[in-house]
Amino acid sequence: MAAHTQDKAVNTSSLWKHVKKEWKLYSFLVIPVIYFIIFKYAPMLGSIIAFRKYRGGPNIFGSEWVGFTYFEMFMKDPTFWRAFFNDLSLSVSYLLVKFPITLLFALLLNELRRVKLKKFVQTVSYLPHFISMVIVAGMVKEMVSLSGPINYVLSSLGFEKISFISLPEWFPTIYVTSGIWQSLGWGTILYLAAMTGINTALYEAAKIDGANRLRLAMHVTIPGILPTIMVLLILDIGSILGSNFEKILLLYNPLTYETADVISTYVYRMGITGGNFSYATAVGLFEGVIGLILVTIANQVSKKTTKSSLW
Amino acid sequence: MILIVFFTLYPFVYLVAQSFSSEAAIYAGKVTFFPVEFTTKTYEVILSKPDFFLYYWNTIVYSVVGTFIAVAATAVMSYPLSKDRLRLNKFFIPFVLFTMYFGGGLIPNYILVAKALGMRDTIWAIVIPGAISAFNVILMKTFFAGIPHELEEAGRVDGLGVFGIFTRIILPLSKPILVTIMLFVMVGMWNNWFGPSLYLQSKDKWPVALYLKQIIDNAVSPTEIGASSDQTSQIAASVKSTAMVLTSLPIICIYPFVQKYFVQGMMIGAVKG
């Protein structure tokens, strides 16, 4: 026991010496760490108002404890459950479409031998990623509007025009398609980076063994970028709740709440517009915790099965 | 491939075509690829209105100030974190990483910024809360870690202190990553409308993205933009697309020139990370 304490003392004093020696470098961290405490960790503590009756004002500690009241409230709230399932189904369907398409596009880009063409395709396909969500939403609305090009095609083929933006059954399609448009190119950038890291000797060896381009992609490229694929998949799974908040907020309207309202937009309406801060915080906290649990599970599973993980 | 290029570009083409077309043609659904009944009236009306320049100016101010703060803070934080010999990094790195996977959520953030810190209706509510992101720190830290150690040693022998090494050796060598982060933050700031919509009450502080949102929502009518009544009907439909074109123009113009930097920066940061 005594030895143990002494050990600790030595450790602390050597740590102190270390900090003293490197204090200049550590001093770089002072302001950023304070920033993290105030702007990242304080809001986490601020979630405490989910357990308190908070009615606004700067002091979050001046209100009474209510325990899990707000959690029980939203568990019994049908609007919450609708938002919950919309959140799940929008993200899962987006993920199911986006993941294979992005991977396929990355493989195709990698196969393009003409450097100039490859650069051009890349440049164009990254572009939507840099456009403001306000403009993306505006474009989507113009594209699907009654006088827009999609309805133009429909009507010239002899079909009825459809008011896509106000029909709940169309919202998931609009959400997924516009998401692909926005992220397809950008999503490939990490894959392409990973592909440049693959040892070219592997390709040559496979070629000598008589592999064609398809087989090369299947047996060399894909295994080579598997760690990247897994890491991106884990991240996507972690954000399965919390679909693209800004986009939905800009695209949905009361007519499409039925399929478009997700947890974060519900939190926004409840909290910011409705002023039910505590209730909205409880819902938001629930979303955050589920996300954290999902990331952890996905990470563990990936660690066990493919040996690639985030931490 | 050509198909993908076409479908990616088509919405932009359509938007531009619309902005140069007459309102009647737009409502009739005649505009598909080229402008119909070419007119620049909407541009004239919007550009003759000083308000639009005010919002534009606000956006420029927020982007420049915000980007400067963000890049400086990210670099200062990433440098010590890139040093393996710092024992406390065992604590600080997870401290930063954790914020990538969990956050306080919308409401506590809002209460913090608007109520507890009293930043509402100031530029600080726009440029400070998002200044450092864990993702950018990791990207930059990875880049710094890849700079050969010997260069720093040489600097030390020449009598440079820690700060001197950082500003005279590390930063000049880190252009690709600095430009990359700068671009990410600047694009984010340029496009930011949600933060301003939460925190800015006075309309004269709005950035152009938020103003654009109002136009798209039809909350701003052509008359408010300053068109006389005979122009009003003329521009009602194309005002949205014109405003969209004008707002995204700077990004679309700069983008091809800076593209190679961020691709480089992302690749270096990501491959090793």
Convert the pLDDT of each residue in A56-82 to its tens digit: 666 666 677 888 888 998 999 999 999
- Give me A210's structure tokens: 């008589």
- Answer yes or no: is A118 within a domain: yes
**Which of the residue ranges A93-97, A174-178, B230-234 would you say has the lowest mean pLDDT?**
B230-234
Of A146, A139, A156, A162, which Cα lies nearest the Cα of B28? A146
Q: Is residue A120 part of a domain?
A: yes
Mean pLDDT value across residues A82-106: 92
The pLDDT tens digits of the residues spanning A257-301 come to 989 999 999 999 999 888 888 999 999 999 999 989 998 998 888
Residue A31 has pLDDT above 60, yes or no: yes
Q: Is residue A188 part of a domain?
A: yes
> Hunting for tokens 């993306």 — which residue is that?
A136
The predicted structure's pLDDT at residue A58: 63
- Of the candidates B10, B96, B103, which has its C-beta nearest A43's C-beta? B103
> B184 Cβ partners below 8 Å, 6+ apart?
B136, B262
DSSP label at residue A142: H
Tell me how far apart the terminal alpha carbons of chain A are, to the nearest angstrom: 34
For residue A198, being part of any structural domain is answered with: yes
Residue B226, pLDDT > 70, answer no
Q: Is the pLDDT of residue B70 over 90?
A: yes
Contacts of A199 in chain B (CB under 8 A): none
Q: What's the pLDDT at B105?
A: 85
Between residues A214 and B256, which one has the greater pLDDT? A214
Q: Which residues in chain A (106-125) have CB-CB distances under 8 A to chain B?
A: 108, 112, 117, 120-125
The torsion of the CA quartet B86, B87, B89, B95, rounded to 10 degrees, works out to: -160
| pLDDT in the model for residue B36 | 78
User: pLDDT: is A309 or A198 the higher one?
Assistant: A198
Residue-wise pLDDT tens digits, A213-228? 888 888 888 888 888 8
pLDDT for position B237: 63
Q: Highest mean pLDDT: which of A238-242, B25-29, B162-166, B217-221?
A: B162-166
Res. B259 pLDDT band, cuts 50 70 90: confident
Rounded-to-integer distance, Cα A102 and Cα A108, Å: 10
B6 touches chain A (CB under 8 A): no
Q: Whole domain around residue A275: which residue ranges?
A: 78-132+168-306
* Closest CA in chain A for residue B245: A135
| Chain A interface disruption, residue of B107, B127, B199, most A CBs within 10 A | B107
CA distance A177 to A174: 5
Residue of A nearest to B24 (CA): A147
Residue B62 has pLDDT above 50, yes or no: yes
Confidence band (pLDDT; 50, 70, 90) for A120?
confident
Q: Which distant-in-sequence residues (6+ apart) come within 8 Å of A7 by Cβ?
A: none
Tell me, what's the pLDDT at A60? 67
Quote the pLDDT of residue A1. 42
* Within a domain: A72: no
A-chain residue closest to B184, CA distance: A130
Q: Does A231 touch chain B (CB under 8 A)?
A: no
**pLDDT tier for residue B233 given thresholds of 50, 70 and 90:** very low
Q: Is residue A296 part of a domain?
A: yes
CB contact under 8 A, A135 and B247: yes
B96-142 pLDDT tens trace:
989 988 888 888 899 889 888 888 889 999 999 989 999 899 889 98
Give the mean pLDDT of A161-169: 87
pLDDT at B177 over 60: yes
User: What residues of chain A lie within 8 A of the CB of B87, using their CB?
Assistant: 15, 18
Please tell me the pTM assigned to this model.
Answer: 0.86
Structure confidence by residue, pLDDT tens digits, B17-31: 888 887 777 767 777
Question: Which positions 158-177 of B are in contact with A (Cβ < 8 Å)?
Answer: 161-163, 166
Nearest to A44 among B77, B83, B102 (CB): B102
Which one-letter amino acid corresponds to residue B136?
N
Domain-located, residue A163: no
Q: Look up tokens 């500690």; give the residue.
A: A61
Taking alpha carbons only, the member of A152, A161, A145 closest to residue A251 is: A145
CB atoms B4 and A105 under 8 Å:
yes
Q: Which member of B11, B92, B193 has the closest CB to residue A132? A: B193
Q: Are B219 and B39 in contact (CB under 8 A)?
A: no
Of residues B108, B128, B270, nearest to A43 (C-beta): B108
Q: What is the rounded distance in angstroms from the CA atom of residue A268 to the CA atom of residue A140?
A: 22
Choose the weakest-confidence range: A83-87, A234-238, A267-271: A234-238
Q: How far is CA A79 from CA A88, A259, A277, B269, in A?
A: 14, 11, 17, 42
Shortest CA distance to A239 belongs to which of A299, A189, A191, A288? A288
- Here the tokens at position A250 are 């800009």
List pLDDT tens digits, range B137-163.
988 998 898 888 888 888 888 888 888
B118 to chain A: which residues are within 8 Å by CB? 58
* pLDDT level of residue B68 (50, 70, 90 thresholds): very high
Mean pLDDT score of chain A: 86
CA distance A131 to chain B (A): 7
Average pLDDT over residues A218-247: 85
pLDDT at residue A94, rounded to an integer: 93
Give the residue among B115, B10, B127, B122 at the shortest CA–CA distance from B64.
B127
Report the residue from B15, B32, B267 with minimal CB separation from A139.
B15
Centre a 10 Å sphere on the Cβ of residue A51 and count the other Cβ atoms it contains: 19
Say if residue A2's pLDDT is above 60.
no
Q: What distance in Å separates the CA atoms of residue B236 and residue B210, rounded to the nearest whole number?
A: 19
Answer whether A162's CB lies under 8 Å from A154's CB.
Answer: yes
In angstroms, rounded to a whole number, what is the distance separating the alpha carbons of residues B31 and B15?
10
Which residue of A lies nearest to B111 if distances are taken between CA atoms? Answer: A58
For residue B134, give the nearest of B263, B262, B273, B268 by alpha carbon: B273
Q: How high is the pLDDT of residue A57? A: 67
Domain holding A87: CATH number?
1.10.3720.10
- The number of distinct structural domains making up chain A is 1
Instruction: List, in sequence order, every residue forming a beta bridge with A52; answer none if it has no partner.
Output: A65
Per-residue pLDDT at B234: 47
Q: Is residue A218 part of a domain?
A: yes
pLDDT at B218: 67
Record: contact A190-B270, CB cut-off 8 A: yes
Q: Which residues of A touch B257 (CB under 8 A)?
A: none
